[in-house]
Amino acid sequence: MSSIERRRFLRGFTATAAGLWVPGAYAEALLQTPRQTEGPFYPVDLPLDTDNDLIVINDALTPALGQITHLSGRILDSAGKPIRNALVEIWQVDQKGVYLHKGSNRHNARDTNFQGFGRFMTGTTGEYYFRTIKPVSYPGRTPHIHFAVKIKGRKKWTTQCYIKGEKQNARDGLLQNIKDANQRASVIVDFTPVKGSKVNELAARFDIIMGFTPTG
């Protein structure tokens, strides 16, 4: 896929995902997504490419290893209204279980075709979209994806997203430390097969509910 085709695809998928949001769908205050630690592996040195496609870096011909996953969702306030101009960042290990961060174990074995970090600025629907890989585990942790949400005038907010049905979830200390069962369930999402995909792609939907209502 050429760089032009890739950009068109990403724009098209984002527009489709955004169309899933229905104004006024929430009448009551929503359950806040629990805040979780940023962890030690937020990249110190950002990659040259920080877009929302983590599978292909710039115009590289070789894609990253791993099961392609279309990860989307909305950034919403406590009343269910979309938050625009929220900068959403994700970072995760590659297929070999290695972070982009130089302090990650086995960093020399990292898949250099995996971007490892991406950014997306939300529009009027609060929608974000990333093309990445299904997360894998590394020693001591169940598979997960780190999220940071940056909104002007507010402190950076971080959480993590997990795979529904993953057996290691029950043994993950950080996940189980979320004491409220409903909040814990809110960060565990389905990674479902994309119908018609010839390369076994997945789709995951993770809405993030911030604990405030923006003013202005």
pLDDT per residue as tens digits for the range 48-92: 899 999 999 998 899 999 999 999 999 999 999 999 999 999 999
Percent of the chain with pLDDT over 90: 81
pLDDT per residue as tens digits for the range 167-197: 999 999 999 999 999 999 999 999 999 999 9
Place of tokens 């961060």: 101
pLDDT of residue 10: 57
Q: Examine the pLDDT at 3 and tell me if it is beyond 80.
A: no
pLDDT per residue as tens digits for the range 10-56: 555 555 554 444 444 444 568 999 999 999 999 999 988 999 999 99
pTM for the full predicted model = 0.86
Domains of the chain by start residue, with CATH: 3-21+29-209 (2.60.130.10)
pLDDT of residue 59: 87
Q: Residue 140: beta bridge partners?
A: none
The mean per-residue pLDDT over the stretch 93-120 comes to: 96
pLDDT of residue 213: 62
pLDDT of residue 211: 81
Q: Which residues contact 7 (CB under 8 A, 6 or more apart)?
A: none
pLDDT of residue 198: 94
Q: Which residues contact 167 (CB under 8 A, 6 or more apart)?
A: none
Please, is 30 exposed, middle or buried when counting C-beta atoms within 10 Å of its C-beta (0-12, 13-18, 19+)? middle
Instruction: Classify 54 in phi/psi space as left (phi over 0), alpha (psi -120 to 50) or beta.
Output: alpha
Q: Give the residue among 103, 122, 99, 123 at the shortest CA–CA distance from 111.
A: 99
pLDDT per residue as tens digits for the range 127-163: 999 999 999 999 999 999 999 999 999 999 999 999 9
Query: Distance between CA 126 and CA 135 in Å, rounded?
Result: 24
Between 2 and 66, name the one with better pLDDT: 66
